[in-house]
Amino acid sequence: MTLLNFAFKNISRDFKTYIYHFMSCVLSVFVFFTFSNLTFHPSLKIVDKDSTIGLILHLGLITTMLFSFVFILFSIGNFLKQRSKQFAVLNIIGANRKQFFKLIFYENGIISGFSLLFGMTLGLIFSKLFLMIAEKIIGGLNLDFYFPLTAILYTLCLMGGLFLLISIFAPLILRKQKIISLLKKEETAERNHILFVAFLFSVFLPLTIYYNYKLDILEYPFLLITFIIFTYLLFNLMFMVYAFLMKVTQRQYQGEGLVKMSNFKYRINTNLKTMTMTMLLFTITLSSLIYIIGAPKTIDSTTKKIMPYSYMYTAWDKKIDDLSQSQLITDKLKDKEGFQKVRVDFLNFDEKHRDVILSNSTYNKIATLLNRKHLSLKDNEYFIVGVDGKNVPTLGEMQGKDYKHLGISKKIGSDKRLIALSGYFSSVTIVADEKYQSLKHKFVNDRFFAFNIKNWKTESDATLKNDFKINGDRETLTSAFSYYQFEKIQRHIIAYVGGILCFSFLIGIASITYSRLYNLAEEEIKKYKAMVKIGMTKKSIKKVLASTIRWVFVLPFLVALFVTWIIVLYIDQYTITSYYGIGLTCSILYLAIEGILYLIIKKKYQRKILKDVFENN
C-alpha cells in the first residue's frame, strides 16, 4: 500500500476526525469564490482596477486570502494536535520522518482538493442568490447570473496555491515534537510563556514607536504584531489578577473555585492564544460593522458636507464669458423647485496654493443659502472657513504674518464647514467688507457660481454640460448628484464586501471557540468522570464549564467592544460624519447577539460533556 492510498483510507475511515478541518477549508473557498464571482462579473468590467471600487473589490479578495491562511492554519494546528497520539504510534511502528511528513502532506492535499471542489460547487449553487443580494444592496447594477470561468480559474490558482503552501508548512508544526511528548500530549499541563511573550513585546514596541515616528509603512505590520502580543499579555495579566484576588479573598476554596482556576491554568497557553485570536477577530468585526452599516446611511449628509451646493460652475479660462454661461445655467434651473443662486467673488491671496480671501457680505450671502450664522467683522478681524470638511481650519505661520502686514490680525473664530467643493481651496479667510475693498487691487480677483435645487439627488449634470458644451478643460460644472451617485455605489459595494467578510469572521470566531472546547472534550470527559466518583455534582460541572466559556468567549468580546469604542472615538475626529449613534445601536445589537451565542454554546457544550460523563455513572 502506498502512502497516498494510506492517507486516503485514513480520511475515509475516520472522516469525523477530519470534518472540522475540511469544513474550514470549504468555507474559505466558498467565501473567496463568492468575492471572485462578483469581482469578475461582466457588469463590472467598466470598473477601473485602480479606481476606488476596483481597489475595494481586490482588497476584499486579499483580506479573504489572509483570513483563509490564518483560519486554516489555526484549524490545522488543532487538527494535528488532536491526532498527536496516532502520529506517535506511526513513528513507533517504523514510519521514518520523511514518510511521516509525506503522509501529512498527502492528507492535507486530499482534503484541500475536495475542499476546492465542494467550495466552488457550493459557490456556483448559491452564486445567483449572492448576486441578487449584491444587486439589491449595491443598486444601480444589473448583476445577472453568468458562468464564472475566470472566477473558477482565479480560485483554483490562488486558493490552490494557498492550500499547497499550507500542506508544505503543516508537517513543520510537529517537526520538533518528540514521540514521547506526542504520546503524552493530552496528559501534561501547558507552560505559561509570559516571560517569552513579554520579551517579544519589549522588542516590538520600540520598533513600532520608531516606525511610527518615521512615518514608515512598516509601522502597520509592527503595530498589528505589537497589538497581538499586548493582547496576549493583557489576558495573562487578567488571569493573574483574578487568581490573586481569589487567593487573597479565600474564594478559591469556596464552591468550585479551585477547579475553575486549575481548569483554566492547565490549558493556559491554548486558552490565551484562543482568547487573543477571538478578541482580534471580534475587534475587526465589531468596528468594521459600525462603519459598514453606517456608510450607506450617511451618504446624504456626507455629500452635503463635501459639496454644499447642487451645482458649482467655474470658468478657468478667462476668455470665457462666465457671466453669460451662469445666466444660461440659471435660465435652465430657475423653474426647478427650491432654486437658489449665489455668486462668490474672492481674492487669490496665493494663487499657486489657492489661498483665498472673501468679503463679509459675500460670506453672509453663502450663509443665507446654506442656513448658517451671519458674520459681522470689524476692519482688523478675520474668520477662517474649512476646506476639507474634516479638520478645524488654521492659518500657517507665514500666512498669519502676511495677514498682519495687511492689517488683519484678530481671529474671531472658525468653522470647518465648507463654502465650496472639498479641496477646491487650500484656505479660506473672511475679512470685513472695507478691508476686502482695500485689497482688491493687490490680488487677482476671481469668482464661481453656486446653484441649489431641492431634488438634487435625481438631477444629473450631464444635460447641462452637454447643452452648454462644458467639457471640464476650460470650465467646469460640478454637481452634488455625481458625487452622490458615485458614493452610493461605492459605499454599497463596501457594505456588501464588508458584510460577507464580517460574516466570515463571525463564523471564524465561532469555529475557533468550537475547536478550543470540543477538541479537548474527550479529555474533559475523562477528568470529570474521575471527579464525579469523588463527589462532584452535575451542577458544579455546569458552573466550571460555564466559567471556561466566559473566559474564552465572553471576556474577549467585552475587551473587543471596549477597543472598538476607542477606535470609533479616534476615527470620529477625522471623519466628516459622526458614527456615535450608529455605534451605540450596534453595541446594543452586539451585546444581544453575544448573549444569545453564549447561551447556545454553553447549553450545547454542557449537554455534550454531561451526557458522556453520566452515561456510565
Per-residue pLDDT of 315-366, as tens digits, reads 988 888 889 999 999 999 989 999 999 999 999 887 677 889 999 999 999 9
Q: How far is CA 105 from CA 80, 370, 463, 582, in A?
A: 12, 67, 63, 47
Mean per-residue pLDDT of the chain: 82
Q: Are 424 and 387 in contact (CB under 8 A)?
A: yes
Domain assignment of residue 58, given as a range: 1-188
Looking at residue 57, its pLDDT comes to 67
* Domain final position from 430, 464, 481: 481
Q: Is the pLDDT of residue 590 over 70?
A: yes
237 in a domain, yes or no?
Answer: no
Q: Looking at residues 382-406, what average pLDDT do you find?
A: 82
CA of residue 125 relative to chain centroid, distance: 28
- Cβ atoms of 342 and 369 within 8 Å: the answer is yes
Residue 249 is assigned to a structural domain of this protein: no
Question: pLDDT above 70 covers what percent of the chain?
Answer: 88
Confidence check: pLDDT of 368 > 90: yes
In a domain, 313, yes or no: yes
- Which pLDDT value is given to residue 79? 66
DSSP state of 393: P
* Domains held by the chain: number: 2
Same structural domain, 182 and 308: no
The answer to whether position 573 is within a domain reads: no
Whole-prediction pTM:
0.67
Mean pLDDT within 203-229: 80
Q: Tell me if 446 is assigned to some domain.
A: yes
Domain for residue 506, yes or no? Answer: no
Question: Looking at per-residue confidence, does 325 or 12 come out higher?
Answer: 325
The pLDDT of 393-401, averaged and rounded, is 78
Highest mean predicted confidence (pLDDT) among 349-353, 380-384, 566-570? 380-384
C-alpha distance from residue 346 to each of 74, 236, 331, 356 (Å): 61, 61, 24, 6
Instruction: Find the DSSP H helices in 249-340.
Output: 257-266, 268-297, 299-306, 322-333
Question: Is 46's pLDDT higher than 60?
Answer: no
Last residue of a domain, one of 173, 188, 203: 188
Q: Read off the pLDDT of each residue in 420-427 and give the average, rounded to a whole number.
A: 88
How far apart (Å, rounded) are the C-alpha atoms in residues 545 and 541?
A: 6
User: Is position 248 within any domain?
Assistant: no
Q: Cα(595)–Cα(271) distance, rounded to whole angstroms? A: 20
In the prediction, which pLDDT does 465 show? 86
User: Is the domain of 339 the same as that of 467?
Assistant: yes
Does 203 score more than 80 pLDDT? yes
Q: Is residue 279 part of a domain?
A: no
Q: Tell which of 438, 465, 481 closes a domain.
A: 481
| DSSP conformation letters of 463-527 | HHHHHTT--SSSEEEEEHHHHHHHHHHHHHHHHHHHHHHHHHHHHHHHHHHHHHHHTTHHHHHHH
Question: Quick one: CA dihedral 366, 369, 375, 379, positive or negative?
Answer: positive
Most confident by average pLDDT, 141-150, 229-238, 576-585 = 229-238
- Clarify whether residues 320 and 465 are in a common domain: yes
Q: Which of 248-257, 307-316, 596-605 has the lowest mean pLDDT?
A: 248-257
User: Would you state the pLDDT for residue 167?
Assistant: 78
Give 400's pLDDT tier (boundaries 50, 70, 90): confident
Q: What is the mean pLDDT of residues 10-24?
A: 74
On the question of pLDDT at 55 being above 70, the answer is no
Three cell numbers, residue 243? 487568581
E-strand stretches of 327-380: 340-350, 355-359
Between strands 427-431 and 355-359, the pairing is parallel
Residues 309, 183 share a domain: no
Segment 117-131, tens digit of pLDDT: 999 999 899 888 888
**Mean pLDDT confidence for 193-197:** 82
CA 233 to chain centroid = 24
Query: Quick one: pLDDT at residue 233?
Result: 92
- CA-wise closest residue to 528 among 513, 543, 516, 515: 543
Top-confidence residue, 487 or 373: 373
- Residue 305: the pLDDT is 84
Residue 315 host element (H or E): strand 311-315
Q: Which of 275, 190, 280 is nearest to 238 (CA)?
A: 275
pLDDT at position 616 over 60: no
Is-contact 229 214, C-beta < 8 A?
no
pLDDT of 52 strictly over 70: no
Q: Does residue 395 contact residue 403 with C-beta atoms inside 8 Å?
A: yes
